[in-house]
Structure 1
Amino acid sequence: MKRLLLLAFVAFACNRTAQVPSTGTPSDSMQTLVALTAEQQRTSGITLDSLRQGSLERTIELRGSIELPPQNLISISFPLQARVRSISGLVGRAVRRGDALVTLESMPLVELQERYLSTRAQLEQAQREYERQLKLSPSAATTERALLEARTQLRERKIALAALAERLRLAGIEPTRLADTAISRTVVLTAPRNGYIAAINVVVGQTVEPNTRIIELVDVSDVHLVLRAYERDAPLIQPGQRLVAWAAADSSQQFPAEVVAVSRTLDSTRTIELHCHFVRYDHARLRPGMFMRARLSVASERGYLVPQSAVVAWENKHGVFIPDSKGYRLVEVRVIASDGHRAIIAFDGGRPPSVIVTQGAYWLLMKLKNTDQQEEV
Structure 2
Amino acid sequence: MKSLRYISLFVLLFSGLLITSCNSSSSEKDEHGHSAQDEHDDEGLEGMVVLNEKQRSALNLKLGVIQERTMAGFIKTNGQLEVSPADKAEITAFMGGNVKSISVFEGDKVRKGQILATLEHPDYISLQQEYIESFNNFTFLAKEYERQKALYDNNVGSGKNFQKVEADYNAAKSSYEGLGIRLQMLNLDTATIKKGIISQGINILSPVEGYVSQVDISLGAYVDAQTKLFSVVNNDRIHADLLVYEKDMPHVQVGQKARLRIANQDEEHPATIFAIAKKFQKDIKAIVVHATFDDSPVNLIAESYVSGEIFNDKELMKAVPESAIVEDEGKSYIFIVNPMATNEAALHDEHEDHGHDETDDDHHQNDGHDDGDHTVDHNGEKIAFRMVEVIPGLIDNGHVAITIPEAISDDAQVVMEGAFYLLSDLKKSEAAHSH
**Contact kept in structure 1, 2:81 and 2:304, CA below 8 Å:** yes
Cα offset for 1:142? 4.9
| Cα distance in 2 between the residues matched to 1:312 and 1:100 | 60
Task: Note the residue ranges of structure 2 that are not aligned, 5 or more in a row.
Answer: 1-14, 43-48, 59-68, 327-333, 338-391, 401-409, 412-416, 423-435
1:70-149 equivalences in 2 (<5 Å):
70-137=85-152, 142-149=157-164
Equivalent in the alignment of 1:270: 285
Alignment match of 1:254 (pick from 263, 268, 280): 268
1:32, CA displacement in angstroms? 7.7
1:90 to partner: Cα distance: 0.8
Who is 1:357 aligned against? none
Partners of 1:142 and 1:29 in 2: CA distance: 118
Question: In the alignment, what sits opposite 2:203?
Answer: 188
Q: Using a 3 Å threshold, how does the CA distance of structure 1 residues 188 and 265 change in structure 2: closer, same or farther?
A: closer
1:1-377 alignment, distance < 5 Å: 5=22, 8=26, 12=30, 14-20=33-39, 27=51, 29-30=53-54, 57-137=72-152, 142-247=157-262, 249-250=263-264, 252-268=266-282, 269-284=284-299, 286-299=300-313, 316=335, 342=398
For 2:275 and 2:228, the matched residues in 1 are separated by: 31
SS in 1 for 2:236: coil
For the residue of structure 1 that corresponds to 2:183, the secondary structure is helix
Report the CA distance shift for 1:8/1:279 in structure 2 as closer, same or farther (over 3 A).
same
Residues of 2 paired with 1:167 and 1:83: CA distance? 18
Per-residue CA deviations over 1:88-140 (Å, capped at 9, x if unaligned) read: 12100111123221122232222111111111111122123334434555787
Compare 257-266 and 215-224 and name the one that shifted more. 257-266
Letter in 2 for 1:72: D
Looking at structure 1, the residues matched to 241 and 37 of structure 2 have their Cα atoms a distance apart, in angstroms, of 60
Q: Which has the larger radius of gyration?
A: 2
Aligned residue for 2:74, secondary structure, equals strand
Question: Kindly, what percent of the aligned residue pairs are identical?
Answer: 20
- Indicate how the Cα distance of structure 1 residues 183 and 55 shifts in structure 2: closer, same or farther if over 3 A, else same: same
* Contact 2:71–2:396 (8 Å) recurs in 1: no
Aligned residue type for 1:255: H
* TM-score, length of structure 2 as denominator length: 0.59
Note the alpha carbon deviations across 1:293-314, whole angstroms, 9 max, x for none. Answer: 1122225589xxxx989x999x
Aligned-residue offset at 1:231: 1.1
* Aligned amino acid, residue 335 of structure 2: N
Report the alpha carbon displacement of residue 206 of structure 1 after superposing the two structures with TM: 2.1
Q: Could you tell me which amino acid in structure 1 is paired with residue 225 of structure 2? A: P
Closer, same or farther: CA 153–253 of 1 in aligned 2, 3 Å? same
Over 3 Å counting, the alpha-carbon distance change for 1:5 and 1:190 in structure 2 is same
After TM superposition, give the deviation of residue 277 of structure 1 in Å: 1.0
Give the SS at the match of 1:221.
helix
Q: Which has the higher strand share?
A: 1
Letter in 2 for 1:316: F
Q: CA deviation at 1:26?
A: 7.1
Pair 1:142–1:89, CA change in 2 (3 A): same
1:165·1:175 contact (CA, 8 Å) conserved in 2? yes
Q: Supply the RMSD in Å over aligned alpha carbons.
A: 4.3
- Structure 1 residues 58 and 177, CA gap change in structure 2 (3 angstroms): same
- Judged with a 3 Å threshold, the aligned counterparts in structure 2 of structure 1 residues 30 and 102 are, in CA distance, closer, same or farther, namely same
Please report how far the alpha carbon of residue 283 of structure 1 lies from its aligned counterpart in structure 2 after TM superposition: 2.8
How far does residue 230 in structure 1 lie from its aligned partner after superposition?
Answer: 1.8
Counting matched residue pairs gives 311
Contact 1:246 1:255 in 2 (8 A): yes
CA 1:16/1:184 → structure 2, altered by over 3 Å: closer, same or farther? closer
CA distance 1:185–1:337, shift in 2 (3 Å):
closer
- 5+ residue gaps, structure 1, are 35-53, 319-335, 350-360, 367-377
Q: Residues 282 and 136 from structure 1, CA distance in 2 versus in 1: closer, same or farther, beyond 3 angstroms?
A: closer
Preserved contact between residue 65 and residue 225 of structure 1 (Cα < 8 Å): yes
**Aligned partner letter, 1:85:** K
* TM-score normalised to structure 1 length: 0.67
Separation of aligned partners in 1, 2:179 and 2:259? 54
